Amino acid sequence: MKNYVQWPMPADTVLAGSNVTLTPARESDAAELFAVLDHDSVWTHVRGRPDSVGALADTLGAANEVGRWPWVVRQNGEVVGTTSYLEVSTVDARLEIGFTLYAPAVWGSVVNPECKLLLMTWAFEVSGMGRVQLKTDIRNVRSQAAIARVGATKEGVLRQYQRRQDGSVRDTVMFSVVADDWPAVKAGLLERLENSNEAS
């Protein structure tokens, strides 16, 4: 069956904005990532917290094999977090942006909206995707608000969707942006970033 989108992304892809730069994560990034993400609050709603730099390096090294393409997020040259493409279906022209973890110091800043702008621009305008989805734990109200502010449409709740780190089963809130939405979503993100930069 023919693929209708460009995938996988080239290994040397760099996504650069005014505030952040995203590069594909390597095992060599593990030490910096581990240091900035080693906070209980970062991992409250995300399964798979590594207990050492080595464990994180192993996870990064095996990510593509389990269908995840992680990025390192840098602001002013400093590592501030990670985010990923995952759940990629080239036949259906869709992917997910997820496994997003930022240092608490950049929560609520320009980092997340600019990351989403860069990732969705590549997905829709370079790769040719027709749908980008985002999902989060129903308990993670902060994440739901952040996704809604990006301009994604809430589609509903997937009941008993996956297990949390503690073994409990979570309901998952699903959001999406589709190709028809993208021009308006992009304009909203650009306006938001412009206003943030003017205020800083």
Residue-wise pLDDT for 29-49, tens only, equals: 999 999 999 999 999 999 999
CA distance 130 to 114: 20
Give the architecture-level CATH label for domain 15-199: 3-Layer(aba) Sandwich (3.40)
Confidence of residue 199 (pLDDT cuts 50, 70, 90): low
pLDDT at position 165, please?
Answer: 86
pLDDT at position 2, please?
Answer: 47
Burial of 85 (0-12, 13-18, 19+ CB in 10 A): buried
CA distance 127 to 37: 29
Instruction: Work out the number of other CB atoms within 10 angstroms of the CB of residue 121.
Output: 16
Q: Where are the domains of the chain?
A: 15-199
